[in-house]
Amino acid sequence: MAVRASREIVIDAPPEAILDAIADIEAAPTWSSVHKRVHIVDRYPDGRPRRVEVTVKVLGIIDHEVVEYHWGRDWVVWDADRTSQQHAQHGEYTLSPEGEATRVRFDLTLEPSTPLPHFLVKRAKKTVLIAATEGLRGFVLSGKGSLQHD
């Protein structure tokens, strides 16, 4: 059974700055409690990540994923290959300018490889949503997110 989670926040930054922060995927472990290790396998010609190997940990469950990203002017989507913990994963950030700020919508759908108790799913969703939105907001506002991250 697929698990879906979504959340919207407003970040006081333009969409380009937010996409640059997301594209700085190697820095994700510094702002996302879920990401433990990130390795970019290859990039698009503009420097944005295309295929990425990621180690994630949610509620003590560790998973190793290969994720493929696709980038638009005001969105990014990704899909993860099948792993030992999940059959499928699809994620999206959609950005909408609101004056000087940007509304950020995060959507995640994943299909666990084994059934999980409802209380664990609920706790995992909360952890992932906070990391993906509040963690991103903190990183963007710190000014550290860019494609030139070392």
How high is the pLDDT of residue 150? 36
CATH classification code of 3-142: 3.30.530.20
pLDDT score of 146? 58
Write down the pTM of the prediction: 0.90
pLDDT score recorded for residue 148: 43
pLDDT tens track, the chain, 150 positions: 789 999 999 999 999 999 999 999 999 999 999 999 999 999 999 999 999 999 999 988 899 999 999 999 999 999 999 998 999 999 999 999 999 999 999 999 999 988 888 888 899 999 999 999 999 999 999 987 654 433
DSSP collapsed to 3 states, the chain: CCEEEEEEEEECCCHHHHHHHHHCHHHHHHHCCCEEEEEEEEECCCCCEEEEEEEEEECCEEEEEEEEEEECCCEEEEEECCCCCEEEEEEEEEEEEECCEEEEEEEEEEEECCCCCHHHHHHHHHHHHHHHHHHHHHHHHHCCCCCCCC
